[in-house]
Amino acid sequence: LVDVARVLHEKQIPVISITQINSNPISKLSTYSLKVPSEEKALRIGAISSRISSFVITDLLYYGVFKKNFEEHKKNLIDSKDNVSILKK
């Protein structure tokens, strides 16, 4: 992910990250960095709740951006899917 963030940063493409509160390579390369607590409880339930919280934040950001210009973002999504398919070959 750091390599991807670096490429996007070099191309001046905005990057939104969800990272721990402490400083890290991803947050330094991000245009916007949403910080989450870096401590987890000893029980596995802590990890589950933080993962679900991250998924909810990601989904809300995705839907918020997507709905602003549905047709353009739909095309970009299809292009991204095609590009990933090329990488898998």
- What confidence tens digit (pLDDT) does each residue in 14-36 have? 998 888 888 899 999 999 998 87
Query: 88 and 68 in one domain?
Result: yes
Are 46 and 79 found together in one domain? yes
In this prediction, residue 28 carries a pLDDT of: 93
Q: Are residues 13 and 54 in the same domain?
A: no
Burial of 39 (0-12, 13-18, 19+ CB in 10 A): exposed
Spans of the chain, pLDDT less than 70? 37-47, 88-89
Two structure tokens written together for 70? 């549905």
Contact present, 1 and 27 (Cβ < 8 Å): no
3-state secondary structure of 37: coil
Pair (8, 26) in one structural domain: yes
Predicted local distance difference test score (pLDDT) of residue 13: 92
H or E stretch at 27: helix 25-29
